[in-house]
Amino acid sequence: MVRFACAMSVFCLVVVGVTACGSDEVQQRDRVKIALQKSMMQQMKKDIGQLRQQLRVANRQLIKADRPTVAIPGPVYAPSPTPSGDDCGEGVTATGSASCPFALNIASQYRSAPSSVLFDVYSPTTGLSYDVTCSGGSEVTCTGGATGTATVYFAP
């Protein structure tokens, strides 16, 4: 009976050992299978990300291709009325008692110091200098001279 008990114990150990070994192999296979599945999932996620990026680029290109190109013109401004007077050249107009040489000197001095508003300008016609005041933005108006009625218009 002791022999039988010993034989049974050995048999149980062998069966349990084989079963345990068998379960280790199964567990190992399961771990490998899970690792492969995780790896495949990561690769698929990466591939999906790349495909999404390619789709975004293709959509942008389609949108650009479908979008009509329209040239939008800039604002149209009505030309400012040209003051009546003597056209002195260089975009300068002299009115009143202003001579063209005096008007050109006024424009020249203003253009060399556009931040100033009061100038002492020489008139080649009279040989004298006169106080002249200028103001404006896209068109400058200057007044002054011997009688104060000389007005000069020009672009800065």
- The pLDDT tens digits for 15-29 are 444 444 557 888 999
Q: Does 118 fall in a domain?
A: yes
CA pair distance 91, 100, nearest whole angstrom: 11
Say yes or no: 6 and 37 in one domain. Answer: yes
Say yes or no: 94 and 125 in one domain. Answer: yes
Say yes or no: 91 and 146 in one domain. Answer: yes
Q: Does 75 fall in a domain?
A: no
Say yes or no: 58 and 114 in one domain. Answer: no
Q: Does 73 fall in a domain?
A: no
Say yes or no: 28 and 91 in one domain. Answer: no
47 lies in which domain range?
1-68
CA pair distance 38, 50, nearest whole angstrom: 18
pLDDT tens digit string along 90-129?
889 888 888 899 999 999 998 888 777 898 999 998 899 9
Q: Does 77 fall in a domain?
A: no
CA pair distance 26, 32, nearest whole angstrom: 10
Residue 146: predicted pLDDT: 79
Say yes or no: 2 and 50 in one domain. Answer: yes
The two beta strands, 150-154 and 140-144, are antiparallel
Buried b (16+ CB within 10 A) or exposed e, 10-22: eeeeeeeeeeeee
Domain boundary among 41, 68, 95: 68
Q: Does 146 fall in a domain?
A: yes
Read off the pLDDT of each residue in 70-80 and give the average, rounded to a whole number. Answer: 49
Element (H, E) at 16: helix 2-66
Tally of CB atoms within 10 A around 153: 20
Tally of CB atoms within 10 A around 98: 29
Say yes or no: 48 and 19 in one domain. Answer: yes
Say yes or no: 142 and 96 in one domain. Answer: yes
Q: How many structural domains does the chain have?
A: 2
Average pLDDT, the chain: 75
Q: Does 44 fall in a domain?
A: yes
Tally of CB atoms within 10 A around 150: 23
Q: Are 135 and 118 in contact (CB under 8 A)?
A: no
Residue 102: predicted pLDDT: 92
Instruction: Please give the C-alpha separations between residue 84 and each of 121, 125, 134, in angstroms, as whole numbers.
Output: 22, 21, 18
Say yes or no: 54 and 94 in one domain. Answer: no
pLDDT tens digit string along 14-68?
444 444 455 788 899 989 889 888 888 888 888 888 888 887 777 777 666 655 5
Domain boundary among 21, 36, 68: 68
